[in-house]
Amino acid sequence: MPTDTGAPERIAGLTTNRKHETYRNHDLISAFFKGEFGGRVIQRGKTLLEISGGGIDENLVELRAFVDQRMAELTATDAPAPTAEAYVAAFRHILPRLSEGHRAMLKAHFHAPDRIITATQLARAAGYHGHGAANLQYGFVGRYLFEELPTPLEIRKDGTPIYTMALATGVDRQGEEHEWRWQMRPEVAAAIRYLGLTQ
């Protein structure tokens, strides 16, 4: 949800007009400061883009376009797969958001034969009532991970992304989605083992 501060703020003793919003897990800042308009895209404390000119709202449009382009490049089907180290860093950021049920599903998926599991089996491991709850909750884990580490995702017919694909690939995908057998990505398996989430 975008956060618009809008009102003038004091920065280093100077009054500035400034807007800040969170967009696709990036912080966008557009401001009039020291006599000029400028903007930045920041993610996890690192500045990815800095622009000058335009106006506060015009700069936000440009900053959003940069983020959209960046996400498109990171999630292109020919984009290289993230490394296990990148997954470790991403999981470290999302660990506080993972419930006991989420952790139980990751553990069960890791220990499943060939690391292949169904939503029904995930539900059983987490104590959820049915595959629907497991699909929803495992999708949340996938979305958290995707927001930290964008990867190519397949899109459903209704246009929504299949966030579970941030964690796993679908094998034997006949029938309804809850019957798919999901195979954990090797890099995800290596990351959660390293972080002690498999014990």
Domain residue ranges in the chain: 9-74, 84-194
DSSP for the chain, please give it: ------S-EEETTEEEEEEEEEETTEEEEEEEETTEEEEEEEETTEEEEEEESS-HHHHHHHHHHHHHHHHHHHTSTTSPPPPHHHHHHHHHHHGGG--HHHHHHHHHHHHSGGGEEEHHHHHHHHT-SSHHHHHHHHHHHHHHHHHHS-----B-TTS-B-GGGGTEEEES--SSGGGPEEEE-HHHHHHHHHTTTT-
Q: What is the pLDDT of residue 24?
A: 82
- Joined together, the tokens standing for residue 128 give 């959820």
**CATH 1.20.58 describes domain 84-194:** no
Mean pLDDT per 10-residue section of the chain, whose length is 199 residues = 42 62 90 91 90 92 92 75 94 96 98 95 95 94 93 79 91 64 96 96
Q: What is the pLDDT of residue 108?
A: 98
Contacts of 45 (CB under 8 A, 6+ apart): none
Residue 171, beta-bridge partner list:
181
Q: What is the pLDDT of residue 150?
A: 87
Cβ–Cβ < 8 Å for 69, 46: no
